[in-house]
Structure 1
Amino acid sequence: MSDKKKILVAEDSSVIINLTKNILQFENFDIIPVRNGNDVLKTLEKNEVVLVLMDINLPGMDGMECSKLIRANSNATISKLPIIAITGNYKNYTLDEFHKAGINEYLQKPLDYDLLVTTIKKYV
C-alpha cells in the first residue's frame, strides 16, 4: 500500500494531467485525475485526498460551482480540503470571487510547475 498523499486533479487536458502527474510523483504525491466537476464530487466521496487542483473551465459543472459544492459538503474532511484553482482565464474572476467559491489560491496557465509544487507544499 502506498503511503503517498493523494491529490485530486480536476482537469480536462490530458497534457496538463500528464505533466502534473509526472511532477507530483517526483515530489512523492499520487494524483487522481478527473475530467469534470461531477466526477470530482464522486471521487472525493470515495478517496482520501489532501488537496484539490481545480481547473476552472471544466465541462459540465465548472470549477467555481464545484468548489462551492465541496465547501458545502456535510463531511468536514471534504469541505475543508485546500482547493487550488488552475486557470487560463483568471482575469475573468476577482480574487474575492475565487475566495467566495471556497478556493484558497489560484495559479495561472500555463502552469509554472515550481510554483505549483511550492503552493501545494504550503497546504499539505
Structure 2
Amino acid sequence: MADKTILIAEDSSVILNLTKKILELQRYKILTAKNGNEVIKQVGNNKIDAILMDLNIPGKDGMQCTREIRANENKEISSIPIIAVTGNANNYTMEDFKDAGINAYLPKPLDFDMLVQTVKQYTAE
C-alpha cells in the first residue's frame, strides 16, 4: 500500500512536531502548513489523503480553509477528508462543522490514540 499523505495545519511547533512523529510512526507521509495560505497552497500542489486542520491557524482560519477546499472545482481536492482540531470547540457547534464541510473533530489537548484511529478511519482504502 502506498503511504498516505496527511497535511497537518497547525501553528504551534510543539503540537505540530508531536503529531507529525505520531503519524509518521503509522507510516503516513506528512506535509505541514502553519497558516491558512500554506494550507491552500499545499492542497493545490500535492495529492493529500486527509487534512488535520487546527481551526485557529493564522491568516485564513481552519473554517475558511475548509470552505475554500470544499468549493474547489477539482473533485479530488474538494473531497479530501478534513479533521478539525481545536482547543475551543465551544465557539462552534457540530452544525457549524457540518456546514463548513468538516468530516470529524478532535478536541485539544489531542488524544493521540483517538487521532490515529480517526486518521485511519478517513484514509482507509
TM-score bin, normalised by smaller chain? over 0.9
Structure 1 runs, 4 residues or longer, greater than 4 Å off: none
Residue 60 in 1 paired to residue 59 in 2? yes
1:50 partner amino acid: D
Q: What's the counterpart of residue 117 of structure 1? A: 116
Cα distance in 2 between the residues matched to 1:37 and 1:89 = 18
Deviation sequence 1:69-112 (CA, Å, 0-9, x none)? 00000110000000000000101100000110110111000000
Deviation sequence 1:13-54 (CA, Å, 0-9, x none)? 001111011100110101101001111111111111100000
Cα distance in 2 between the residues matched to 1:44 and 1:93 = 24
2:87 partner amino acid: G
Cα distance in 2 between the residues matched to 1:92 and 1:73 = 26
How big is the shift at 1:5?
A: 1.2
Q: What's the counterpart of residue 92 of structure 2? A: 93
Aligned residues: 122
Q: 1:1-124 maps to which residues of 2 (within 5 A)? A: 3-124=2-123
1:96 partner amino acid: E
Identical columns (%)? 55
Flag structure 1 segments of 5+ consecutive residues without an equivalent. Answer: none
Flag structure 2 segments of 5+ consecutive residues without an equivalent. Answer: none
